[in-house]
Structure 1
Amino acid sequence: MPAATSLPARAPAPSAARRRRSSRAAVVSASSSLRRAASGGGSSWRSERRLMSELDRTVTSGAAERVIRGYVGTKSERAALAALSRLLIDSDPLAIPFYEAVTQARWFKWSSIHAAGVAALLEATGGAEESRSLVAGSAARLQCPSEVALFYCDLMAAFSSRGLNRRAMDFYAQLRAMPPPALSGSGAGGGGGGRIYMAMIKSLCLMGLAAEAEEALREMVSLGHKPDAFQFGLVAKCYGKAGQLAEMERVIASMSDAGIRLGTGAANIVLSCYSACRDHGKMLMWLKRMRKLRIAPTTKAYNFVLNSCTTVVKMARELGPSLPLSSAQLVKKLRSGSPWPAEADVVQELLAASSVLDKAMNWSENEVKLNLHGFSVTSAYVLMLQWVDAIKGGRALPLEVSVVCGVGKHSDVRGEPKVRELAQEVLSRTGSPLRLSARNKGRLVAKRDRVKQWLTTEWTSPLLEESTDQSSSTSDQQPFLPKLLRKLGQMFSSFVSVSR
C-alpha cells in the first residue's frame, strides 16, 4: 500500500498552550534520552554532544523545537527514528514536537507504532482532543482493514503501557467489532491475520488480560494460523504474573499439542513465575524436567532461581563469619538451617548444571577468566563456589587466573560495587592470591603458580561447625579480622605494583 494513502500528511500540531506547557524541565529530562538514542541511531559522538549542549542552553519550548527540527533535518532517518522511539519509551513531552518534525522530513513513512505512541502520549499529557484527532485521521486513511486492525493493536499496547487501560479497552472493542475477514486477513489486501493475532495477544498480555489473550490464541489456531512459542510464553507469563500458576502450567503444556517444542524462553518464563512465588518445590521439579529435556539453564534462570532462595540471599548480603566457602558447605548448611526444605535441593540442582558456568568462564591457553557481569550478588556468590570446584578439577591451569567483577557502572546501587565487594571477601577468606589489578579495578588476578599452591590447601568457614548460641557482641566482632586482613592485603598489593 503506498505510503501516501496510508497516513495523514502530517500529525496534528500541538496547540500553542501545549507548547507553553513544555517547560525547561522537560527539555533537560530529554537530554539523556536523546543521547542514548542518537548514539544507537548512528550519530557520531561529536554531533550527539553538540545536540545535548544546544538543548541544555534552550530556555523556551520554541527554542527546543528549533533544535529538534535542525537535528531531524540533518541526521539520517535511522538516527531520527531512534531518537523518537527513545523519547516515546521515556514518555517525554518533547516526543510530540519531535514527531511533528519527523512527519515533515522528506524520507518520512508512516509507522503504526510511532503514531500509536504519540497518540497515547498526547492522551497522557492532557491532549485528549489532539490524540483522538490523530487516531481518527490515521485510521480513516488506512484503506486496508488488516492494517487498521494492526493499528488498533498498537494503540492498545501504547495506551495500556501508560496506564490508560480504559482507552485501550475502547480500541479492543473497536477491534472486535471489525468484520471477521479483517481479523483473519482474508479481506482486501489480507494476509496479515497471523500478525494481527500476534499483536492482539501481546497487547492483551500487556493489559494483564490473560483469559482474553488465551481466547485470542485459540481463535488464532482455529483460523489456521500457527502461533509460535513466543505467543504461548506471553500468555503463560501473564497468568504467572497474576499468580495463576495452574493456568500457566496448562498453557505451557498445550504447546506440545500445537507441535511446539518447549524452548529456553518458555522455560525461563516458568522459572521466573515460580521464583516470584518462592515455590521451591515446583522450581525443583521444573529444573529436573529441563535437565530431562536437555534445556540448559541460562544466566536469567540462574538469577531467577537463586534470588528466590532467601537463605542464600541473606548469606551473600551479610557475609557473616559462618559464610560457606565451598559448594558442599553451602548445600550442607542449607539442609540444616534453611526454613524451606527444598531450597538446598534447588541449589544443588543448579550446581549440577554447568551451562551457566561454561558461558561465564573463558579457559584459554593464556588465561582462565570468570566473568561475573550480568549476575546478581547472590548468583555471583554461588557461581564463584562452582567456579572454584571447576578449577580444582585437575585440568592444567594457564599462566593467569582472573575474576572480572566490574566496578558497578551498570548497578542500580550506588557506592561500593557489591559484586566486587563479595568477590574480594569470599576469595580473601579462602586465602586466595587473587588481588585487584593495578590497571583494572574491576578485575581480580593472580599468576598460575600461586593459584596452584592455593588450590592444594583446604579452607572452611571458621564458625561453620560452632554452635549458634554465641553472644551477639562476639558474633558482631568476628567479621572484623578477615576484613582487616583483606584491606591490608590490598594495600600491600597496590604498594608492590607501584614499586615495580
Structure 2
Amino acid sequence: MPAVASLSAPAPAVAARRRRSSPTTASLRRVASGGGSSWRSERRLMSELERTVTAGAAERVFRSYVGNKSERAALAALSRLLMDSDPLAIPFYEAVTQARWFKWSSIHAAAVAALLEVSGSTGESRSLISDSISQHLQFTDEVALFYCDLMAAFSSRGLKDRAMDFYKELRSMPLTGRKTYMAMIKSLCLMGLPTEAEEALKEMVSLGYQPEAFQFGLVAKCYGKSGSIVEMERVISSMSDAGIRLGTGAANIVLSCYSSCREHSKMLAWLKKMRKLRTTPTTKAYNFVLNSCPTLASMVQELGPSLPLSTRGLVKKLKSISPQTAEAELVHELLASSPVLDKAMEWSDTEVKLNLHGFSTVAAYVLMLQWVDMMKDRTLPLEVSVVCGIGKHSDVRGEPKVRELAQEVLSRMESPLRLSTRNKGRLVAKRDRVKQWLTSLPVPEESTDHLPDANNQQPFIFMLFRKLGHFFSTLA
C-alpha cells in the first residue's frame, strides 16, 4: 500500500494532542468493542505506545503487535484508533495490510482516507481511494457502497465538501440493490442532509426495494435534529403508508426521533400509547428517553448530596426543580410501563444478578432505583450482584463510568454490595446482608400520586406485609 507506506507515524506525544472525538459508524464500534482478551491486549498496546518517543519506535510496536496478536485483536485496535481519529491509525493500518490474514475493508479504507486528508496528505488519500476501487472492487454496487462509507467518514471529520464530491460520484452511477439505498440513506443522514435522504428513500420505494422502519427513523431523526419537527412527523406517519406495522421496532424508532429533539410531551404521549398497545420500550429506548431529560442527566452528572435514592423521590424532585413539566411525567410513565428491568435481571437458585451492560449512566441510575424497589418484595437467592463492567464497551476506554455511578449510589444507600475481589466489574453481597439492608430502608410516604410498577399496581396485601415487617424490625 504505497499510498499509506509513504507516511511516517507522528510521535505519540504529538498524536495525543491531535486526537479528537468524531461520530463513527456502527461497524467500527462493533469491532472496537470486541472485549475479552482483545480489549486487554489493546490496553497494553496503548500503554506501550505512550512510552515510545519516536515515530520509528511506534512503527516497530505496530509491526510486532500485528505480527503476534490475533486478527480480532489487531482489528479492534485499528478500529479504536480510527474512532478516535488518531493519526497513529495510518501507520497501524499499513502494518495491518501486510498481515497474512489481511482482507480489505471498505469501512477501514474510507476512515484511513479521511484521516490522510485531515492530515494534509491529499495525494495519498486519493491514491488510497483509487487503488481500493481498482484492486478490491469488481462490481458497481461494491463501488457504490464504498462511496457511502467515504461520505460518512469524510463528513464525520468535518470534510463536508469532499463528502459531497463522493455523493455526486455516487449519483452519477446506475444504482441498484436495496443494500446500496440503505447505505446511501444512512450516510446522507450522518451528513445532516434529510431532504436528500428522503429523496433517496422515496426512490428506493419507487424501485420496489422495501425499506425498513430503521430507514424511516434515520430520515425522521435527521429532520428532528435540524429543528424541522413538522417534517419529522410527516416522515413518521408515512411509515404506515409503506406497509410498516407498528411493532416494537417501529414504536421505539418513533421514541428515538422525539428524543433527538427533546419533545418530552410527545414522548410521554407515545409511551402511553405503547402501553395501551402492549408494545414495550427496548433497552435502547430506555437509554435515549432518559438521556433526553436534561434535569435528570444533570443530576446524575453532578452526583450532588441531594441526589434522590428512590423512584418516588426522583419523580418528586423532578417535579419540583425541572423547568419542563413533562420531564417528570415522562420519567414517571417510563417507570410505570417499562419491562426493561425484568430483561436486565438474571435469576437462578443461587444468584440474582442485575446486568447494567448496555445502559448509559443516566439509565443505570434509574434502573438501580427500580431494582431496589422490586427487590424489597422478592424472595432472594443466596447471592445478590450488580454487574456493571469495567468500561471496556465505553466510548472512552478505561473510564468505567457506570461502575463508578453504581458504587456511589449504592454506597449512599448504605448497601452491603461491594466490588468482588475476583471480578472488578461486579458488586456482590450475600442474601442475609441484602435482606437486612432492604428491611432498613425507609418506607415511602403515602401520596395520592402513586408510582405504579410494571404490574400497574402493587397488591395491597404485599404493601401491608412490607409495612408490618418494617414496624417489627424497629422493635428488634
Same fold (TM over 0.5): yes
How far did 1:156 drift? 1.1
TM-score, normalised to structure 2's length?
0.73
1:435 equivalent to 2:422? Answer no
User: CA deviation digits over 1:298-321, x for unaligned, max 9?
Assistant: 333333333444555566656666
Aligned partners of 1:73, 1:12: CA distance in 2, in Å? Answer: 21
Question: Which residue of structure 2 aligns with residue 464 of structure 1?
Answer: none
The SS at the match of 1:110 is coil
User: CA deviation digits over 1:7-30, x for unaligned, max 9?
Assistant: xxx342454xx42x7224257799
Aligned partners of 2:202, 2:340: CA distance in 1, in Å? Answer: 36
Quick one: which of 108, 115, 122 aligns to 1:128?
122
How far did 1:353 drift? 2.0
Quick one: which of 206, 213, 237 aligns to 1:222?
206
Whether the 8 Å CA contact 1:252–1:266 is kept in 2: the answer is: no
Question: Which residue of structure 1 aligns with residue 139 of structure 2?
Answer: 144
1:211 equivalent to 2:202? Answer no
Taking a change above 3 Å as real, the CA distance of residues 456 and 137 of structure 1, as seen in their structure-2 partners, is: closer
Question: Which residue of structure 2 aligns with residue 297 of structure 1?
Answer: 281
User: CA deviation digits over 1:23-82, x for unaligned, max 9?
Assistant: 242577999xxxx98995997799768866775565432343344344445555544444
User: CA deviation digits over 1:368-394, x for unaligned, max 9?
Assistant: 44445555555445434433443344x
The SS at the match of 1:296 is coil
Taking a change above 3 Å as real, the CA distance of residues 13 and 452 of structure 1, as seen in their structure-2 partners, is: closer
Aligned partners of 2:230, 2:97: CA distance in 1, in Å? Answer: 48
Unaligned runs of 5+ in 1: 1-9, 185-192, 429-433, 462-500
Which 10-residue stretch deviates more, 257-266 or 223-232? 257-266
Identity of aligned residues (%): 66
Whether the 8 Å CA contact 2:390–2:399 is kept in 1: the answer is: no
Taking a change above 3 Å as real, the CA distance of residues 26 and 237 of structure 1, as seen in their structure-2 partners, is: same
Quick one: which of 271, 275, 280 aligns to 1:287?
271
The SS at the match of 1:202 is helix
Question: Which residue of structure 1 aligns with residue 451 of structure 2?
Answer: none
TM-score, normalised to structure 1's length?
0.70
1:154 equivalent to 2:149? Answer yes
Aligned partners of 2:347, 2:440: CA distance in 1, in Å? Answer: 20
The SS at the match of 1:342 is helix
Which 10-residue stretch deviates more, 163-172 or 365-374? 365-374
How far did 1:215 drift? 0.6
Question: Which residue of structure 1 aligns with residue 59 of structure 2?
Answer: 65
Q: Which has the larger radius of gyration?
A: 1
The SS at the match of 2:3 is coil
Whether the 8 Å CA contact 1:229–1:255 is kept in 2: the answer is: yes
Taking a change above 3 Å as real, the CA distance of residues 454 and 25 of structure 1, as seen in their structure-2 partners, is: closer
Whether the 8 Å CA contact 1:37–1:79 is kept in 2: the answer is: no
How far did 1:277 drift? 3.7
Quick one: which of 309, 314, 333 aligns to 1:349?
333
Whether the 8 Å CA contact 1:84–1:95 is kept in 2: the answer is: yes
How far did 1:224 drift? 1.7
Question: Which residue of structure 1 aligns with residue 409 of structure 2?
Answer: 422
**Counterpart amino acid of 1:61?**
A
Whether the 8 Å CA contact 2:110–2:150 is kept in 1: the answer is: yes
Quick one: which of 316, 324, 327 aligns to 1:340?
324
Aligned partners of 2:43, 2:315: CA distance in 1, in Å? Answer: 52
1:242 equivalent to 2:226? Answer yes
CA RMSD of aligned residues (A): 4.3
How far did 1:101 drift? 3.8
Aligned partners of 2:87, 2:155: CA distance in 1, in Å? Answer: 18
Unaligned runs of 5+ in 2: 20-29, 446-476
Which 10-residue stretch deviates more, 294-303 or 434-443? 434-443
Question: Which residue of structure 2 aligns with residue 25 of structure 1?
Answer: 13
The SS at the match of 2:175 is helix
Whether the 8 Å CA contact 2:33–2:39 is kept in 1: the answer is: yes
Question: Which residue of structure 2 aligns with residue 111 of structure 1?
Answer: 105
Aligned partners of 2:437, 2:51: CA distance in 1, in Å? Answer: 60
How far did 1:212 drift? 0.4
**Counterpart amino acid of 1:419?**
A
Which 10-residue stretch deviates more, 50-59 or 361-370? 50-59
RCO higher in structure (CA 8 A, sep ≥6): 2
Whether the 8 Å CA contact 1:370–1:403 is kept in 2: the answer is: yes
Aligned partners of 2:303, 2:60: CA distance in 1, in Å? Answer: 53
Tell me how many residue pairs correspond in the alignment: 428
**Counterpart amino acid of 2:109?**
A
1:97 equivalent to 2:91? Answer yes
Aligned partners of 1:269, 1:111: CA distance in 2, in Å? Answer: 29
1:88 equivalent to 2:82? Answer yes
The SS at the match of 1:91 is coil
Whether the 8 Å CA contact 1:376–1:419 is kept in 2: the answer is: no
**Counterpart amino acid of 2:108?**
H
Which 10-residue stretch deviates more, 282-291 or 130-139? 130-139
Which 10-residue stretch deviates more, 36-45 or 349-358? 36-45
How far did 1:352 drift? 1.6
Taking a change above 3 Å as real, the CA distance of residues 109 and 262 of structure 1, as seen in their structure-2 partners, is: same
